[in-house]
C-alpha cells in the first residue's frame, strides 16, 4: 500500500514540475526566432527550411531568403504540434517533432481527384504536374486524354507525416524587430519600417450627468499613439496578398506587436520637377508665376472674386 502511495506521489510531483517548467518557459504570444528544417517522414523530401546550406543542397537556394524566422507562439504560424513542443522551452533548446498527416496538410482524399473538361485547362498548362486553377480551386494536372483532364485537388503533401527539426535561436523583444519579423513571414522582401510616438487629435465622448437620450457630447483631445510606418514600394503595392489582405495583416501587427496603428507610406521616385501639370498645383513652383506665364493678373482675379462674393451675399434691412 505504501509503495503505491509513494509511486502516486512521485507521479504527482513530476507532473507539477513539468507544469511549472512549461509556465516558466516560452508562452503563447512570445516572439521567437526559430531555425528549422521540415521533411516528409516517408522519403525525406524537403518541405521547408531556414538553413541556407540545406537549401543549396536541395537546389532551392534561389527561391528566397533562408535565415531563422520570427514567429508568434500560439498564432498558428507553424503547426500546432510544433508550437506545443516549443512552449515551455528556453532559448537555445532544440529538438525534433513529428506532425501526423491529419494535423499537417490533411489526409489524402481520392474524391478530390476529379475529371474536368480540357477546355478549362489553359493550353500552356496541359502537361502532367502542371499547377492549374479550375473554377477557383488549385489543383495539379495528372493526365489529359482527349477532351478530358484528370486533376488532383489535394495538397501536394496531403497524406504525409512531417518531421520538424528545430532550434530556438532567440526571443525577439524589440517592437520594430517583431514587426519586421511578421512582415517577413508574409512577404520575402526588405521593407523600410520605423516606429514613432505621434500626437494625434481625436474625438472622445464626454461623460454627462444628464439623462437626456440625445447625441452624446464629444470633445477634441490630443493623445499619443505608437505608430508603425511602412514605406511601400511597387513590389509591395502590387503584391496580391497585400492588396487583398492588408487590413488583416495590419490588424495582426497591431494586436501582436502592441502598437496603436499602422501607416503605409507610398514612396514614388520620379521627375524631381514633379511631372506634368501646372507648377504650384501638382509639382512645385509659384501660382502667381504660373499665372504670369499665361498673361493673367492674379490681383485682378482676386478682386473679381471678391466682387462676386459681395454680390451673392444676402442684404439685411
- Residue 123 sits in a domain of what CATH number? 2.40.10
Domain co-membership, 116 together with 239: no
pLDDT tens digit string along 89-107?
Answer: 999 999 999 999 999 999 9
Comparing 44-58, 113-127, 235-249, 265-279, the range with the smallest average pLDDT is 265-279
Domain co-membership, 164 together with 197: no
Percent of the chain with pLDDT strictly greater than 70: 75
Asked whether the predicted pLDDT for residue 82 surpasses 60, the reply is: yes
Asked whether the predicted pLDDT for residue 313 surpasses 70, the reply is: no
Nearest CA among 21, 19, 22, 16 for reference residue 74:
22
Domain co-membership, 122 together with 231: no
d(CA 257, CA 173): 9
User: For residue 94, is it within any domain?
Assistant: yes
Comparing 45-54, 69-78, 195-204, 297-306, the range with the smallest average pLDDT is 297-306
Interstrand relation of 193-205 and 162-171 (parallel, antiparallel or unpaired)? unpaired
Number of folded domains in the chain?
Answer: 3
User: For residue 98, is it within any domain?
Assistant: yes
**203 φ/ψ sector (left φ>0, alpha ψ -120 to 50, else beta):** beta
pLDDT tens digit string along 128-147?
Answer: 999 999 998 999 999 999 89
Which structural domain, as residue segments, surrounds residue 121? Answer: 110-152
- Residue 286 or 284, more confident: 286
Domain co-membership, 68 together with 114: no
Question: For every residue of 118-156, which 3-state class applies, written as one string?
Answer: HHHCCHHHCCCCCEEEECCEEEEEEEEECCEEEEECCCC
User: For residue 293, is it within any domain?
Assistant: no
d(CA 138, CA 76): 22
Q: How confident is the model at residue 266 (pLDDT cuts 50, 70, 90)?
A: confident
Q: How confident is the model at residue 21 (pLDDT cuts 50, 70, 90)?
A: very low
d(CA 188, CA 33): 16
- Residue 43 or 316, more confident: 43
Asked whether the predicted pLDDT for residue 259 surpasses 80, the reply is: yes
pLDDT at 204: 83
Asked whether the predicted pLDDT for residue 1 surpasses 70, the reply is: no
Asked whether the predicted pLDDT for residue 317 surpasses 70, the reply is: no
Domain co-membership, 98 together with 132: no
User: For residue 284, is it within any domain?
Assistant: no
Average pLDDT of the chain, as a whole number? 82
Domain co-membership, 49 together with 89: yes
Domain co-membership, 125 together with 233: no
CATH code of the domain in which 98 resides: 3.10.50.40
User: For residue 5, is it within any domain?
Assistant: no
Model's pTM, two decimal places? 0.68
Mean pLDDT of the region 184-204: 88
Asked whether the predicted pLDDT for residue 67 surpasses 60, the reply is: yes
Amino acid at each position: 500500500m505504501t509503495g503505491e502511495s509513494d509511486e502516486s506521489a512521485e507521479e504527482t510531483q513530476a507532473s507539477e514540475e513539468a507544469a511549472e517548467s512549461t509556465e516558466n518557459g516560452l508562452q503563447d504570444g512570445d516572439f521567437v526566432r526559430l531555425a528549422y528544417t521540415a521533411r516528409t517522414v516517408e522519403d525525406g523530401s524537403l518541405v521547408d527550411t531556414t538553413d541556407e546550406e540545406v537549401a543549396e543542397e536541395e537546389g532551392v537556394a534561389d527561391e528566397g531568403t533562408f535565415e531563422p524566422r520570427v514567429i508568434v507562439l500560439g498564432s498558428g504560424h507553424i503547426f500546432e504540434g510544433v508550437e506545443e513542443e516549443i512552449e515551455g522551452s528556453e532559448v537555445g533548446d532544440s529538438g525534433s517533432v513529428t506532425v501526423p498527416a491529419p494535423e499537417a496538410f490533411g489526409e489524402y482524399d481520392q474524391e478530390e481527384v476529379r475529371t474536368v473538361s480540357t477546355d478549362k485547362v489553359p493550353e500552356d498548362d496541359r502537361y502532367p504536374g502542371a499547377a492549374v486553377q479550375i473554377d477557383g480551386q488549385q489543383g495539379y494536372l495528372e493526365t489529359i486524354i482527349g477532351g478530358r483532364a484528370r486533376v488532383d485537388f489535394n495538397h501536394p503533401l496531403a497524406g504525409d507525416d512531417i518531421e520538424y527539426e528545430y532550434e530556438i535561436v532567440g526571443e525577439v523583444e524589440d517592437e520594430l524587430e517583431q514587426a519586421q519579423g511578421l512582415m517577413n513571414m508574409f512577404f520575402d522582401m526588405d521593407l523600410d519600417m520605423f516606429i514613432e510616438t505621434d500626437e494625434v487629435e481625436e474625438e472622445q465622448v464626454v461623460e454627462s450627468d444628464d439623462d437626456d437620450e440625445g447625441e452624446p457630447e464629444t470633445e477634441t483631445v490630443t493623445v499619443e499613439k505608437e505608430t508603425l510606418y511602412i514605406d511601400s514600394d511597387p513590389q509591395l503595392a502590387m503584391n496580391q496578398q497585400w492588396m487583398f489582405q492588408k487590413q488583416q495583416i495590419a490588424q495582426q501587427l497591431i494586436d501582436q506587436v502592441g502598437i496603436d496603428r499602422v501607416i503605409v507610406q507610398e514612396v514614388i521616385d520620379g521627375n524631381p520637377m514633379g511631372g506634368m501639370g501646372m507648377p504650384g498645383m501638382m509639382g512645385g513652383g509659384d501660382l502667381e508665376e504660373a499665372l504670369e506665364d499665361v498673361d493673367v493678373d492674379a490681383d485682378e482675379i482676386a478682386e473679381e472674386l471678391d466682387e462676386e462674393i459681395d454680390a451673392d451675399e444676402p442684404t439685411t434691412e
